[in-house]
Homo-oligomer: A and B are copies of this chain.
Amino acid sequence: MEVSKSVIRRLPRYYRALGDLLKKDYSKISSKELSNIMGLTASQIRQDLNCFGGFGQQGYGYSVKELYQEIGEILGINKPLKTILIGTGNLGKTIAEHIEFSYNGFELIGLFDNNDRVIGQKIANLEIMDINNIKKFCIENKPSVAVLCIPKKAAENIAPILINSGVKGFWNFSHYNLVLYYDDVIVENVHLDDSLMALAFGVNSKINK
């Protein structure tokens, strides 16, 4: 059975919560206790986990360490996905330098830009390469993920090249709606603007209430 989008979104939260519990030396946890910590229902937690297997034990609960490792396994944290980042402007630069890719199951292996003034510079121990060489690079190095820190138009142009070269997943900071044009691709959109506007709506509704 397909795992639903909602369940997938909760997996990293479980992983994080269990990691915290592990640091606090918890050895076991019940779905009820975990539900209090995370603000979910115990029922939902048991449903979610049972998408992947029966990790618990009746009358006891779940082993924190075991469950943590299982979810890490499910997410694939321990098999780094080769990743390239495109666009080393403000946002791209910050992401390349400060996101802990390896902690989350990725390995950053290449940076690209189209600006002659930055090509050749080093960020995060990687040299920024010319975007025109990206196809060659992909064929040789087979990255499976691309981080898009470029404008919509640029994303539109680069997407087919990447997909043809075997890129399977996108961490998409651009406003180009990849899923609309490529249905066989995994996309995680991060739209900070949208997030802010949703917040504006919420706060304004509250104030005007």
Binding site for B on A (CB under 8 A): 3, 8-9, 11-13, 15-16, 38-39, 74-77, 79, 81, 90-91, 94, 97-101, 103-106, 144-145, 168-171, 175, 177, 179-180, 186, 188, 190-207
Q: Given contacts A191-B12, A198-B9, are A186 and B169 in contact (CB under 8 A)?
A: no
Query: Of the candidates B104, B170, B206, which one forms a contact with A186 in the assembled complex, judged by CB atoms under 8 Å apart?
Result: B206
Query: Of the candidates B91, B97, B145, B197, which one forms a contact with A203 in the assembled complex, judged by CB atoms under 8 Å apart?
Result: B145
A190 to B193, Cβ gap below 8 A? Answer: no
| 3 residue pairs, one from A and one from B, having the closest CB atoms | A76-B204, A186-B202, A169-B203
Bound form: Cα–Cα A100–B206 in Å: 23
Copies in the complex: 2
A168 to B207, Cβ gap below 8 A? Answer: yes
Distance (whole angstroms) from the CB of A91 to the closest CB of chain B: 7
Chain B residues near A75 (CB-CB < 8 A):
197, 200-201, 204
A99 to B179, Cβ gap below 8 A? Answer: no
B197 to A105, Cβ gap below 8 A? Answer: yes
A16 to B196, Cβ gap below 8 A? Answer: no
B90 to A97, Cβ gap below 8 A? Answer: yes
Chain B residues near A101 (CB-CB < 8 A):
196
B90 to A194, Cβ gap below 8 A? Answer: no
B11 to A145, Cβ gap below 8 A? Answer: no
**Seed contacts A8-B198, A144-B203, A171-B199; 14 additional CB < 8 Å A-B pairs:** A11-B197, A12-B193, A12-B194, A39-B177, A76-B200, A81-B200, A104-B193, A145-B203, A168-B207, A169-B206, A171-B196, A186-B203, A188-B202, A190-B195
Bound form: Cα–Cα A207–B81 in Å: 10
B90 to A196, Cβ gap below 8 A? Answer: no
Taking CB as reference atom, which chain B residue is nearest A144?
B203
